[in-house]
Amino acid sequence: MPPKPKTSLRFEDSGIFDVERLGNRPAPPRRQGNLDALCGIYAIINAFAHAARDQPLRYFPTKRLFMHLIAKASDRRGDTSFIGDGLTHSELKHLCKKALRFHGKHGYPFELMAPKDLLPDRPYPRNSEDVQRRCAWFAQAASQPARAVILDINTDWISHWSVLTGASGDRLTLYDSNGMRSVAITACEPFLVVEAKRTD
């Protein structure tokens, strides 16, 4: 079976409201992002922007990149089900490569790397229950200039893609499309690293 797609939806949406839970109150309006699972595409866009945080891009075509990635995801999946189902690991990596080429065509070079190559002298303690060791790795990873780490997040209530900004104690801080400020380290794995190259 293919990997389960990542989604920012917090519950299975049956398409109807729970009348007993709402009682006589009117159903709240759905907001942008409530019904889609586009956290993967937003994480890609945010990772490239965060990697370039120290050298702000004079031209960062965010909406054009968003539409480009939507089209590429549709081509790869063969339909638009990723909008509600989210992206698999292989799909996210594929779209990161498309985003890299997109920016390269506009004169902004980036590179992608595996998390294991980010800190050669400090291997990521994968599957370790030592939160302190994992926190130290994430803190150092977040401090790397011109680099951004895309996170694979899984909790009891959400399966999500996001971008790392820092680490403290047992939590990671995020550059996140869903408004999440932090998440438990034990729920996260580094997935891919985006590096912005100088354009002097």
Say what the pLDDT of residue 65 is: 95
Residue 38: give the domain boundaries. 1-200
Between CA 111 and CA 88 the distance in angstroms is 21
Nearest Cα to Cα of residue 162 among 145, 143, 187, 140: 187
Say what the pLDDT of residue 100 is: 97
- pTM given for the model: 0.86
Say what the pLDDT of residue 81 is: 97
Residue with the two structure tokens 């100088």: 198
The gap from C-alpha 199 to its chain's centroid, in whole angstroms, comes to 25
Residue 197: CB atoms within 10 A of its CB come to: 15
> What's the number of domains the chain is made of?
1
Say what the pLDDT of residue 19 is: 45
Say what the pLDDT of residue 8 is: 46
Can you name the residues that pair with 159 across neighbouring β-strands?
7, 154
Say what the pLDDT of residue 104 is: 92
Nearest Cα to Cα of residue 94 among 189, 198, 3, 186: 3
Between CA 186 and CA 181 the distance in angstroms is 16
Low-confidence stretches of the chain (pLDDT < 70) are: 1-23, 56-60, 128, 199-200
What are the Cα distances from residue 127, in Å, to 115, 133, 134, 158, 189? 14, 11, 10, 20, 9
Tokens of 49: 């922007």
Tokens of 186: 């034990």
Say what the pLDDT of residue 189 is: 96
Between CA 80 and CA 149 the distance in angstroms is 27
Say what the pLDDT of residue 111 is: 98
